Chains A and B, each alone.
Chain A
């Protein structure tokens, strides 16, 4: 249950909202704890809807939070912790999808859309900058020059 804005489907998976990370989970070392929080906010609670383990009160999220902290305490780097979790739960656990063959379209889409939109506009600009059929005849050009000369004179 993440967002209230339109709540109907979300009601299916509902845990009481509360504070998620429990005081007894917090590591003594503040630097490690900060890394644990940062890592947890990027890991999905697998039984919730689009909720990170850092926000979820589900027991599984708690287990995963403790697991992350155990690995960090054991001296793992951030990358090693993520690899450890992904090896068990798959890419689904990552809220930031990894860039690979299956997700390249996802990551490239915003830039491709922007570029193709810009390219389309650029082509149109060149087209409208020189619209066909508005070149002046010699007679018109002469009259225009006369008029402009009068204006300045």
Chain B
């Protein structure tokens, strides 16, 4: 019963999305406010219908309804409840439904937003958003229906892939999708602006919170995915330059450029055409990521060709939305009036340079990811583009950007003073250099890049804090004056300082990874292995039974620099339903570093292969990302986003928007 309701609600949502796409635009064209105001109601209805559909799929997982093909393939009656719930999006069909749910959620949020938008812009935005919903609802219904029944129904399910039976699956995909899909709103705003042929600071101010929101979640989603891969896969690596990871990195880079260019547009009415293009490209990259991940094109061009239905459908969506919006851009962008001139040395120029570097870095990831596919398609030659390529191209592009960051952020708008900005950054620069030299002096003979990278990170962190400090602390002012100044600074100033400091923190963590060490050994009970600061001793191997797996848990005594820590366990598991083995790494956090133990195969004598990593300061990588996201969230609460936008909207902001 639930299954049919869910399926029906999804089909109905498609119909409503069609209305949301067509009627508001028609209303605007015919100057009929009643028709134009259908958009918000349709967007909300569409969200409610997809939410019902999603809830129904969740119900069939909770009740282990094995008459549903999707549940059979990804669940098991003994699976813990939390994994029954997360299994809903631990597969292609269900995750597509989550994708669509978040898409229509954003549509509903725009519809409910109390910020006053010019009615034409609102209608155009909801229509554009609606068209994306139509495409993906149709894709889900026609090629990836999660509600398909199975006759006869089997008595038991096949279990969720064991690697996904982890809290990471509960957190990572929803965060990532809110980020990915959130950029659909900026895309919709850009398309609406192009249709209207008008774009100004009001537009920028309306778009900025959505961009910040999507960017914040994408940052969290990528960081969470990275940490999940780190602790679950047992390699101890945190970024692999895998195409699937690159698929999420590209929209992040473009989105980072976008949150900087919208600042210029909002404050100085400049960079309009570029910002519109960037808004389109960012969501296009999200769509491309969806295509890369779901079409099968990654495994090989040939596997894509052998089962082309889904891949071709998404490719069609890709061509329609990217091609369509770029064509619209080429047609309408020349009509947009350019504003705000600025000198070559100015905050605007600094942000243009930021965008140049980020766009190039994004293009590099794009080409590196797609080049092997295209080459194979054209010539049949197979090449690999792996981490060494990205390390050799991406990193040299980012380092100058990071070096310029603390200087650029202190430049004045319109016409800046480069010497003054450099002087303001000199304390931070000095702190970075001193840190670097101190490390060189203390740590002899280690990798050279680690102190250099940490120096850069310190430069970024101190630079970000110094910029805020200069605005808050002035000569001859007491503590209370400083406090009131600090409170008086806009939250967005604190947000950007925090965001930039977060980048520095991550850079420190990444650089310190060069000091990591690892050892491998065959251990019997009572034997030890040392790596870096840590020595572990295998104490016992105990067989245990979990709800849907059996495991051998290896308990280790762990000593760090002569200090005994809490013992740590690493596990080898067999998930019974799929007879699939997994390993669970044993991790002990000491300060900001970690000891990381993973298990290999036992040999005939009863010894087991153990790999021990010493990972100094590794947590800073993700802490930095959290700080970046906190900066984004703080900017989001800035006063000017909570108030009605000025100019162009004389109508009172307090009118309930749904009744417009």
Could you list which residues of chain A lie within 8 angstroms of chain B, going by C-beta atoms? 1-14, 16-24, 26, 41-42, 44, 49-52, 55, 90-97, 102-103, 105-107, 109-110, 113-114, 117-118, 121, 125, 128-129, 131
Name the one of A94, A95, A114 contacting B360, with C-beta atoms under 8 angstroms: A114
- Complex Cα spacing A14 to B232, Å: 14
Question: What bracket does the count of chain B residues touching chain A fall in?
Answer: 35 or more
Q: Interface segment, B363-371, B439-447, B489-497, B554-562?
A: B363-371
Cβ–Cβ contact A2 & B91, under 8 A: no
For residue B223, give the distance in angstroms from its CB to the closest CB of chain A.
Answer: 11
Cβ–Cβ contact A17 & B583, under 8 A: yes
For residue A57, give the distance in angstroms from its CB to the closest CB of chain B.
Answer: 8
- Complex Cα spacing A123 to B234, Å: 51
Smallest Cβ-Cβ distance to B352: which chain A residue: A121
Smallest Cβ-Cβ distance to A10: which chain B residue: B244
B100 within 8 A of partner (CB): no
- Complex Cα spacing A44 to B388, Å: 11
Cβ–Cβ contact A97 & B172, under 8 A: no
**Known contacts A6-B247, A11-B161, A92 near B383 by CB under 8 Å:** yes
Contacts of A22 in B (CB 8 A): 520, 600-601, 609
Smallest Cβ-Cβ distance to B582: which chain A residue: A16
For residue A14, give the distance in angstroms from its CB to the closest CB of chain B.
Answer: 8
Name the one of A8, A16, A109 contacting B367, with C-beta atoms under 8 angstroms: A109
- Complex Cα spacing A112 to B566, Å: 54
Cβ–Cβ contact B92 & A8, under 8 A: yes
Cβ–Cβ contact A110 & B375, under 8 A: no
Cβ–Cβ contact A106 & B356, under 8 A: no
Name the one of A24, A51, A110, A128 contacting B364, with C-beta atoms under 8 angstroms: A110
Cβ–Cβ contact A9 & B296, under 8 A: yes
Contacts of A5 in B (CB 8 A): 172, 176, 222, 225-226, 229, 242, 244-245, 247-248
Name the one of B232, B341, B371, B580 contacting A106, with C-beta atoms under 8 angstroms: B371
Could you list 18 examples of A-B contacts with CB < 8 Å?
A1-B233, A3-B240, A6-B176, A6-B293, A7-B164, A16-B583, A17-B233, A18-B599, A24-B603, A42-B388, A94-B383, A102-B381, A103-B371, A106-B371, A107-B393, A114-B360, A114-B397, A118-B356
B483 within 8 A of partner (CB): no
B267 within 8 A of partner (CB): no
- Complex Cα spacing A131 to B611, Å: 65
A-B contact sample (5 more), CB < 8 A, given A4-B225, A9-B298, A95-B384: A5-B248, A55-B235, A92-B382, A103-B375, A113-B359
- Complex Cα spacing A55 to B299, Å: 18
Cβ–Cβ contact B368 & A106, under 8 A: yes
- Complex Cα spacing A22 to B603, Å: 11
Contacts of B397 in A (CB 8 A): 110, 114
- Complex Cα spacing A22 to B600, Å: 8
Chain B residues numbered 226-242 whose CB sits less than 8 Å from any CB in chain A: 226, 228-229, 232-235, 237, 240-242
Contacts of A6 in B (CB 8 A): 173, 176, 244, 247-248, 289, 293
Name the one of A8, A19, A97 contacting B385, with C-beta atoms under 8 angstroms: A97
Chain B residues numbered 335-361 whose CB sits less than 8 Å from any CB in chain A: 341-342, 344, 352, 356-357, 359-360
**Known contacts A2-B242, A96-B389, A8 near B384 by CB under 8 Å:** no
Cβ–Cβ contact A4 & B582, under 8 A: no
